[in-house]
Structure formats: C-alpha cells, structure tokens
Structure 1
Amino acid sequence: MLAAGGAVVAVVGRRPDLLVIVAPLVVAALWGHLARPRVDVTGEARLGDTTMREGAVTGVRVSIDPPLPDLHGIALLAQAPWVERKPSSGIVELEQGTATLGVRSTRWGRRRVGTVSIALVSTWGSFRAGPVDLPDLECATLPVPASFDASAPTPHPRGIVGLNRSNRPGSGSEFNTIRRFHPGDRLRRIHWPVSMRTGALHVTSTFTDEDAHVVLLVDCLSDVGPREGIDGRPTSLDVTVRAAGAVSEHFLRSNDRLTLRTVGAAEVPVLGVGSGTNHLRRVLDTLAAISPATERRDSGERAIRGVDPNALCLVLSPLIDPTMVSLAHTLAMRGMTVVVVDTFPDHLVADPTSIYLALAWRMRLLSRDSEVHALRQRGVPVVPWRGPGSLDQVLRDIARRAAAPRIARR
C-alpha cells in the first residue's frame, strides 16, 4: 500500500525521486509474497506433567508445525489462579519453532493452567498470523501430605496381611512363647537352646500380623481462611486435605485397608476399600477433585452408609459446620470406634485488627467448645491436628480399652 501510494504521488507530482524511495518497498512486498508459507501453520501446547504436587514446577512446551526457519514469533501464557509463570511475564520467544514456559502450581485441585496464545511473523513483516489461542491445558495438583507418623498400633485388626500385632497366635514377627514342636511347624522356628536342654524339640511361636480397616470422613462443607496456597497460610480445607493425605499415606504404607468418604463436595468419585501405593494415588486424586461447599444439602448419611463396624473411623473436620458433629454422634451411637481430628487453623482467630471479626469468632468458638465437650462426654476423642504423633496417645487408649475385660451375659 505504501509503494502504490508513493507511485501514484510520484506520477501525479512528477517526482521520480519518490519512485526510487518506494522501490525497496515493492521489492520487499514481492519477496515476502513469494517466500510466504504455502501450507497452514498450526500451533500446539503440551504440558510436561499433567499431574503434580503442590509447589512442583513443570513446563509448557509450545511448538509450531511446520517449523519454518524464516518465521519468528512469541508465545504468551495467560495468568491463572494458583499458577505462577516463569518468566513472570509469561512471554517467551519462539526459537526454531519451539518454546518452553515454566509453570508452578501453588495449591491443590484440578484447574486450567492458562490460555496459551501464539503470534507469528516472517522476515520483513510480510506474513503474520495471530495472535491465536490454543486449547486450554488442564492439570491435577495433588495435595502435599503433611508430616505425620504414628507409633501406636491401629486398633481392631481383622485382615490377613499387615503390620499390626493380633491377639491370636499365628505366622508373624512378634514373639509369643516357646512351645513343643508340633507337626507342620517350620524348621527355622526351632529353638535349639531349649531343645538341647530339655531333650525335645521346641519352637518359638509368634502372634499373627493383621491389617486394620481405616475410614476417613473428610469435611468439605466449608473453606474458611485466606487462600494463599502452599507458600502462605492454609485455610481450614487446606489443613483437612493435607492431613487426610498424610494419614492415608501412613496407614497405606503400613498395609492397612483404607476407605475415603467426603461430605459436602459434589462430583467427587466414590473411593472404595483398597491398600497399597496405587490406592494412595487414587486417594490423592480424589482429594484433588474436591470443590468445597458444592453440596450444601449433604447430611452425610450417604457417606457413612455401609461402613464396616470394626473399622477405625477418623473424622477430619474443623468442626465449624454442625453436620460433622452430628455424624460423629451417629457413628458413636452405632458402637463404632470414632476419632475426631480437629483441623481448625489457629491463625484464623489470631488477627486482632477487626474487632467485629474477633467477636464473631469468639461467639462461634464458644459454641464449638460446647459441641466438642458433648462429643467427649459421649466417649468420642477430639484430637487437634499437630502433625507427627497427633494420634499416638488416642490410638493407644483405644487399643487398651479394646483389650480391657467386659461384662457379658451368660
């Protein structure tokens, strides 16, 4: 257009110098037209890891097809919640048709990483495409399990494999007694010092090792607190989800069976009984799919339906919604072993800047203390979540109570 306009002005005004000035523009336009791509240029964005942990970094690889050498361009990754871009501007230059952007997920959940846009231009600007938006990329961010360990055994072991000592003799690793040799005993169990002293074969007997069934009830009815991600202060649901992941990892690595149920979250897949590392991955995927307060009418009856009566029920809740307190009472009335893990973050009431907010929290905490007292009066222990060792004392007390003599009718 500049060359044509300059040529018209040169002819009308009889200015041959203008023809000399616009001649390079004509050459550049003809060169660009002859050298422009004859095929459709398409772009593709691919995420390095579609599943990652909180705080992990992965890459978004952007490429164009075909990778023409005379094309230059940039790729832009739009800003998305809980996603940090590297570089922070989200803009990188395409080199030889490819570019890589770094992304870091700062909070658990399933979300879109962001829209990737590309813009291409050829030499001398004779060809340009875009900006074009590529299909959105989705990823699942698994919660980072909090630090947790328990030295106390799991009560009520009923399975056939595991690391919990049973009260009945059998094949295991815990020493029971030394007795006479019976047909079928293994030769490696022979206790030679006693056998040589008595003149008869004696063997060492052990207690059998069994696995227990653990049921996790996760409170998804609310998410209170500032959402600052992995680098900031956790919300009540952050503490609950990370505690659930830590407890699941501990029990599943001990070969126990585990069931996960959620209350107050819609479209969360039902997770049955399982054990092992693969089941731990399914548990973390289920926790990542939680959307808080998406099913406010959930009373929890579906979550506790069909629960094994011999299972250890761990209710993880900040005890803000009375629904979880009612569920704990219901499970206790059915004679089940229930432990409530209090996941209320202390920093929610530590901000004295707002007088009215502090007064509201004081009133709610007074009501919450009465609910906790009612649970303890019923015999349901309420344990604050403090990481490693949080459940040691209560699990020992439950195991001691289960082994205590009981009055029975004859």
Structure 2
Amino acid sequence: MAPWHPHRTASRHLGVWESTAAHQRAILLAAAGALAAVLGRRPDLLVIVTPLVVAAVWGHTTRPRTEVTGTARLGDATLREGSATGLYVHTTPALPDVHGVVTVARVPWVYRKPSSGIAELDDGAATIGLRSTRWGRRRIGTVSIALVSTWGAFRVGPVDLPDLDSATLPVPASFNASTPTPHPRGIVGLNRSNRPGSGSEFNTIRQFHPGDRLRRIHWPVSMRTGTLHVTSTFTDEDAHVFLLVDCFSDLGPREGIDGRPTSLDVTVRAAGAISEHFLRSNDRLTLRTVGAAEVPTLGVGSGTNHLRRVLDTLAAIAPATERRDTGERAIRGVDPMALCLVLSPLIEPTMVTLAHTLAARGMTVVVVDTFPDHLVHDPKSVHLALAWRMRLLGRQADVHNLRLRGVPVVPWHGPGSLDNVLRDIARRASAPRMARR
C-alpha cells in the first residue's frame, strides 16, 4: 500500500471580478435619478443622486483587473491530540484597498480560534488557529475566500480551496514497567539474558582468559590468589514484542482528549504507551491490527523512527471497517519467542479466539483489557444497563476461559499495569522444566 501523505498546502485561482448587486443598484438609481431630474427640471433630484454617481464612478474606476490566487497552508500537518497549529491564508498579489474574508467550516474534533471560523484578511493574509482533540486522519474544514473592492463595487468568490488533510497522532498514556521483557535473544538492548557475555549485570568472578578486557580485572582477588581474575557479566539483549490491536468496535461517546475515552481511545493510547516504553528500551516491536481496513502493514523495527511509524499506523485506524476479518493474516509469521500483547476490550469473540490460538501455539500471550469502566457505571437508561449486564456476563466467561488456559488478562491502568504479569512470566521462563532424554 502506498504511504499516506497529507495535503498541507492548497491553492486555487479565485476567478474574475464581478460587479456586485450594490454597484449595479447604484448605477441604475443614479441613471434614473439623473434622467428624472433632466426631464422634470428638478435640480434637487440631481443633488440627491450625486453621491450614488460618485460611488458608482469611483467603484468602477478602482476596479481590480488582476486575477488573484488564494493559498492556504497548515503550519503542521501532523499533530498530537490536544495540540494546536495555525492555518495561514494569503492572496497573491496582495491588492491595496481590497477587503477579504476567510472562513473555515466546522468539522468534528477540530476547534477553531476564533470559534466562528471567520477571519479578515489584513494586507492579503489571515491566520486561524486549529486544535485537534482526537487521534485519526481527517480533513480540515473547507477553506473559503471572498474579496471585495472599494465601495463594495466588485467582488470575487467566495471560492472553496482544495481540502487540506491532517494526521493527529494518539498521545501515549503514561506507562512504564520495572520488570525486564521475557525471552531476550537479540544482540542489542537493555534486557539481561541468561548467558554470559558483554553487559552490565554481574555474573561471577573467574580466571583471566586471552581476550578479556583489562578493565574487567578484579584486583583484590587477583592479589590474594596470585593469578589474574576478571569479573564476568550477563549479556544485554533485546526482546521481540508483538502487539495485536482490536479495531472491531469503538464503544462510548467520542469526546476527544478533553472528555471520557472510548474503548478504542484506551486501546490506541495504551498501544502507543507500550510501544514507546519497549522501543526506548531498544526492543524490537511488531504492530498488527484486526477489524480495520486500509491500515498500512508495519514490520519489525526498533528505535525512535519506528515509534513514529507505529503512531502513524495507529492514527490510520478506522474502526469496524472490516467486520469479516478473522485475524489469521495478522498472526501469521509471528516470532514464536515474541511477547504477544493482545489489546482489546474483549467484546468481539474474534479477539478471544485469536488469544486462544496464540496460546495454543505455545507463545507467551498477555491480554490487556482496555474496556472503559465508565460505560457501565453511568448508564443512560435501565434497558442499556440491563444490556451491558448481560454482555458483561458473557465477557466474564471469556476472561475465565482465557485464564484457565494460562493466558493472563490484565486491566489497563497505566504505569505498572504489566509489572506483576511480566515478573511472573520471567520466573516461569527461568524455572526448571522436565525434558525427555
């Protein structure tokens, strides 16, 4: 799929200058008044229509004859939730004694400043503030430009400029984990492995071997024994984290960053927070989505650049646009040693089935429950409360079945949400196992 590039600049010719109804009315009244004054020998009528004659002649004399081009430009085409940017509009050339107005249409989750979305052109330029309050890719409201010459005699527009696009990246929720990632087996990273090598975690003190670094020499033991001894360490390695994001539903009122989150808001922001944590620890990460169409495929990567790609992918999610998605393509080719994190409110049965499938393949699976509590605590009607109660009973049974299989289900609460479960997984991985000899 071709990469998505937002349209940051739009330009269009505003057309030819046309006379206004006021100018035409002034000409007709002036001509009629002058004719009546001559035929009726009424000099007072000639005095009355003189201002109309002056306005009509002045407006026609100062008529602009240059074709004007309007241009609109976004200060930043990529924003974060709650951040603001400017919409800069200007006309070329900037004609003197020409007044203009710029309007920006209202669109959901974009606040305008001024709130009316109307700004006056000053020397052919105007600025309107825009603030995006919810993640996603969307079009900025239609920008229209209208120009009027002296005395309102001629005008051009209003003309709609081509639509501008913007991408609002989700703000990662606050998250950190103090436990290491299980199953490290890469070559770089901050996770301690079980095999000795170059790292920072102390292993033991042993005799010097050719190739050991001199700074590793442990002088107290070497002086006591008479032979050189060095300190050995465990190697630092990176782990592979696989994120599976549920895009089947978006439950709750969509109030943006300033209001209560929907289930997809919690899911997307949790995915961003988890990605930021593991990628800053030099781990490798893969992101897959289920239930959303036209989401770009994101491969394995690490580092800050990969974090930006992850946030761009999350911003491209359109919920429930692929209801027939079984998720088999999303979990195809997953590293068997990866830590699989399934982020879902556990409403769609497909996600529960995928968690069972990954666990049946012997992978380390953790389900992160992103169901928002306020959906149940604040029902709008008795019937809605009863419907949620019935659905949550089935959801509770699904969670129980996952835990019976050995898949932990952890509610998302921000920092420390995964500490206990990752610690238990690390202990389970290092425990002795029965093996056939």
Give the TM-score category using the shorter length.
over 0.9
Aligned to 2:289: 262
Per-residue CA deviation, residues 69-116 of structure 1 (Å, 9 max, x unaligned), is 211111111100110011111111111110100010010000011011
* 1:245 equivalent among 272, 282, 285: 272
Q: How many equivalent residue pairs? A: 410
Q: With the length of structure 2 as denominator, give the TM-score of the two structures.
A: 0.92
Question: Matches of residues 87-166 of structure 1 in structure 2 within 5 Å?
Answer: 87-166=114-193
Aligned to 2:53: 26
Aligned to 1:359: 386
Does residue 213 of structure 1 match 2:223? no
SS at match of 2:140: strand
For the residues of structure 2 that align with 1:352 and 1:78, how far apart are their CA atoms? 33
Aligned to 1:368: 395
**Structure 2: gaps spanning 5 or more residues:** 1-26
TM-aligned CA deviation for residue 206 of structure 1: 0.7
SS at match of 2:106: coil
Aligned to 1:271: 298
Per-residue CA deviation, residues 145-168 of structure 1 (Å, 9 max, x unaligned), is 000000010000010000000000
For the residues of structure 2 that align with 1:83 and 1:15, how far apart are their CA atoms? 60
* 1:286 equivalent among 305, 313, 318: 313
Question: Matches of residues 71-90 of structure 1 in structure 2 within 5 Å?
Answer: 71-90=98-117
Aligned to 2:406: 379
For the residues of structure 2 that align with 1:206 and 1:87, how far apart are their CA atoms? 61
Per-residue CA deviation, residues 18-67 of structure 1 (Å, 9 max, x unaligned), is 22332333333233223222210121111110000000010000101101
Aligned to 2:338: 311
Does residue 328 of structure 1 match 2:355? yes
For the residues of structure 1 that align with 2:198 and 2:102, how far apart are their CA atoms? 63
- Deviating more after overlay: 207-216 vs 175-184: 175-184
Aligned to 1:297: 324
Code of the aligned partner of 1:4: A
Per-residue CA deviation, residues 244-282 of structure 1 (Å, 9 max, x unaligned), is 000000000000000000000000000000000000000
SS at match of 2:274: helix
TM-aligned CA deviation for residue 298 of structure 1: 0.1
Does residue 61 of structure 1 match 2:91? no
- Deviating more after overlay: 13-22 vs 381-390: 13-22
Aligned to 2:424: 397
Per-residue CA deviation, residues 110-145 of structure 1 (Å, 9 max, x unaligned), is 001101111111221122112111111110000000
SS at match of 1:252: helix
Aligned to 1:186: 213
- Deviating more after overlay: 100-109 vs 31-40: 31-40
Identity of aligned residues (%): 83
Specify whether residues 352 and 237 from structure 1 end up closer, same or farther in structure 2 by C-alpha distance, changes over 3 A only: closer
TM-aligned CA deviation for residue 353 of structure 1: 4.1
Aligned to 1:407: 434
Code of the aligned partner of 1:181: F
- Deviating more after overlay: 164-173 vs 32-41: 32-41
For the residues of structure 1 that align with 2:289 and 2:158, how far apart are their CA atoms? 43
Q: With the length of structure 1 as denominator, give the TM-score of the two structures.
A: 0.98
TM-aligned CA deviation for residue 401 of structure 1: 0.4
For the residues of structure 1 that align with 2:39 and 2:393, how far apart are their CA atoms? 91
- Deviating more after overlay: 192-201 vs 359-368: 192-201
TM-aligned CA deviation for residue 352 of structure 1: 4.2
Aligned to 2:3: none
TM-aligned CA deviation for residue 12 of structure 1: 2.9
* 2:223 equivalent among 196, 199, 216: 196
**Structure 1: gaps spanning 5 or more residues:** none
Does residue 4 of structure 1 match 2:3? no
Per-residue CA deviation, residues 205-237 of structure 1 (Å, 9 max, x unaligned), is 110000000000000001110111111110000
For the residues of structure 2 that align with 1:14 and 1:220, how far apart are their CA atoms? 83
CA RMSD across the alignment: 1.0
SS at match of 1:114: coil
SS at match of 2:312: helix
For the residues of structure 2 that align with 1:369 and 1:81, how far apart are their CA atoms? 35
SS at match of 2:300: strand
Asked if structure 1 preserves the Cα contact closer than 8 Å seen for 2:62 and 2:150, the reply is no
For the residues of structure 2 that align with 1:328 and 1:363, how far apart are their CA atoms? 22
For the residues of structure 2 that align with 1:332 and 1:235, how far apart are their CA atoms? 28
For the residues of structure 1 that align with 2:209 and 2:409, how far apart are their CA atoms? 48
Question: Matches of residues 13-52 of structure 1 in structure 2 within 5 Å?
Answer: 13-52=40-79
Code of the aligned partner of 1:326: T
Code of the aligned partner of 1:10: A
For the residues of structure 1 that align with 2:226 and 2:63, how far apart are their CA atoms? 99
TM-aligned CA deviation for residue 325 of structure 1: 0.2
Runs of 4+ in 1 over 4 A off after TM superposition: none
